[in-house]
Every structure is written in structure tokens, then in C-alpha cells.
Structure 1
């Protein structure tokens, strides 16, 4: 999300199972901010729609300078209809003239992945066939396992997962999801929220590499069923940092609908 999770998250032996409830995500609006100044630079909307075998996540991000990006993810439920798994992902970034700036696409079933980079004005396309661990996620869908961790009541703990990202070629990263021990008022959101930190796990190299690796932070509302309310991350690999913050109108609409 916000590109979010465009970067790119074990609870000792007893990781909670993901539930179909995690696929509930009504249309939600976000402001896109410059995290250094707090100034709005765009708007974003995400939603999850049910399908016969799972759900589809759609996200649209529009920037005031004319740039846009569109994210789509397909999720399937297991035979019992309980555990969701991401099976496809596409995130395409467009310049103001509608030409492609970046694109990440992956079919997690076949392993086929493609990364397109046109940031230098010369199109670079890199493809690979990867073998994805069952706990691999991509893009905004990473919110699903994080919410499941929070709904299980886990705080102050870390869980290891995997994510796909173009960096700049197709890659799978092991990540750690670290949950703060308690909630606090998140100023940008204007209400209480619990912060989750996501960062790559390089094993024994963490001591050397970790200080130089950008972190991703996401916030969830403990008073609204752990609804995702924002994040701070790079828009794409080595791209500008952005912050997504759920708008108060979306918060009000969600609470009135209950």
C-alpha cells in the first residue's frame, strides 16, 4: 500500500491461521502525504471485493502532479474456505503522460514474475520464474496476515513472512513483522493506532545490513477492528517516500455502517 507494502514482514511455533474475515475491506479513501512535510500530494482508494473462490483487491493512487498507479491482487481461499492465499499481483505506475514508469507483475502459482523499469527513459524488462513459499505476499495484501496477527492478540512480538518485490529484478524477501507493545495516538491520523514495523530479514547479516535498510511502518486502529489506517514506505524500489493516511470521512462512514 502506498506502495506500500510495495517494499516491502514467527510467532513461536503457534502462528494464528489466516481467516476469511481478513478479506473484509470496504472502499476506503486515503490521503497521500509527503512524510517529511505532512503536505498532501495525492489521494488513494483501496477496496476488496468477494469472488467465487476468494477476493480481488483493487487500489488506485492519484498524485496532484498527474502521476498515477493501479494495484490489483487476486486471493484464493483454501478448500475449507478459511485461509486466504495470494495467487496474483500487479502494480503499474504511470507518468503524468500515461506512459508506464514501473510495473511489477507476478503469478504466484506458476512462479512467473516480470519487472519493468522506465524511470531512466529507457525501458528495462527483467523476468524470472521463482519458487514461492506458501506465506508469500505482495503489495497491499500484506495487510491481511498483519491484521490476523493483531486479531489474535499478539503484541510486542515478531513474525517472519515472505514478500515479492521488484528490487529492481524479481525477488523474494524474508521479512519480520514487529508489533509495538501498545497503542498510541498517531498524530497524522488524529486518533489511537497501533504501529507495526516491517523490515527484511537477512539472517546473520542483519547486524551489518539492518541499519542501512529502509523500514516500513503501518498503523492499525484498535478501536475499529484493527482496520488498516495508514503506512509510510517508499512508493517503489528506491522511489520517493510517501505516507498513506485514512481520511476521517472513511473512518466516519465505516463506523456508521456498523
Structure 2
């Protein structure tokens, strides 16, 4: 792998230039957080929940290795949602502490900042695998039908769809995900691969809500991905499926001093057009 510089780089004082001291303080001062919600997401299911801005939420492997698919929206306007591909460019294909998950156009602002990651030291393994990826997306019943000819209704796409219906959203609102605890990479043929989940009981990934959020999580029906899902050796991986825990914390106002919720992009959205004119003007 080369060491060519990244295309998108942070300028001093830009939104990409994360105030690490602030987020480190949030993590360090455990006495300044209060648990306000916690629940379990059973195997092969999904759950949606709200997180107010300035709160933390944590996804925990309560019984052992299990991968999850995470979607995030602006609670007040679901047209604003996590944008996996731009996050890959602005942050990296695999995310960890101090990385941010960004929203789609025309909003383009951080929805969350990752504050703590018990797998941060996993790094890159001998196969090029890393954890918490934005490379792939959710499994879905459509590609399963394509590959196997069979119907199966508990893929992550379906789990997320069922989870958000009570909030007035539909399948069309489900979007590309963050694969939490999932170990992935690209092989020598530039093809996406998945490995068995390296998480153990008690591992977690923690996020700071930059705006009011609606989140949804699917406990992947592939479980810990130690069993092939497709191909000649495929079998039902239900024996390696485990539930996940979610915790939401309110932070003391003293910890939030100096923090402000990010604004949407300052670009006015004219795209070279002017009121009363149809023709755009080239520069």
C-alpha cells in the first residue's frame, strides 16, 4: 500500500480539524455522564432510538462477537442522513476515535464524532483487514434473492426498515451503513472481503451526537461472520448470532462548555444559476 497523500485534508480551524482535547475530556470524565437509556437489540432484528445533541451513545457486545449495521438521520429532517461515501473520503474507509460521520448534501456536517473505541488498537491485520468499515453496505433480501434464488426477510436492510417505520420512515430512507465491529478489506483483486468479527464480550464503540439524531441498528443475521454466507460452503450462521446492547448518556453541562452544534454547509446552493435566469454562467 502506497503512502500517497489523501485527497481531502484538514485545514487548521476547519470542521475536519477535530478538537481532540474536548472529546478526550468527555471520555475521561466518567462522573459527568448519566445513563438515561439502555436496551438490548436481539439477534437478527433492528431497533431505532433518539439521541439528543450533546449526548453520547454506545454500542456494546454484551455476549460476544457480533457485527451491526448503523444508520443515522437528523431527528427533525430525515432528508439529512449519514453519507458513507463522503465520510470515507473525509475520514477513512475504516473509522475509529476522533473520526466523524458526515451527512449528505446539501447539509454536509458531522452528525457524530467517535469518542471511544475498545478496538482502536486492532489496526491492520495480516490480511489487510480493519474494523468498523464504510467500504461495504448492509446485506439485503434483494441481493440474497439474486445470489441464492431464496427469500429471507431478516437481512440488515429489512431489520432497519422495520425499525424506522414507527418514526414515519420507509425502506427508501434506509441508507448505506457503518458496519460496526465488522472486519473487512480489499483483496489482491480489489474485491471486498469480510472476516470473523474480532470483538469480544464487553467491546464497544461510542459516539457523541453533534445534532439531534434518530439512529437505527441491525444485529446482522450473519452474526460474527465466522460462517460463510454465500458460496459453496454457505450455511445458516444462526449459531454465531448474538444480541447487542445500546446505552445513551446525558452529559453534564460543565463538560459541554465551549461546544456548539455544527451548522449546515454555508454554500448557498445556487450552482451557478441566478434568480430569474435559466442559463448558468461558466467561470
Whether these two folds match at TM > 0.5 is no
TM-score by length of 1: 0.26
Greater strand fraction, Structure 1 or Structure 2: 1
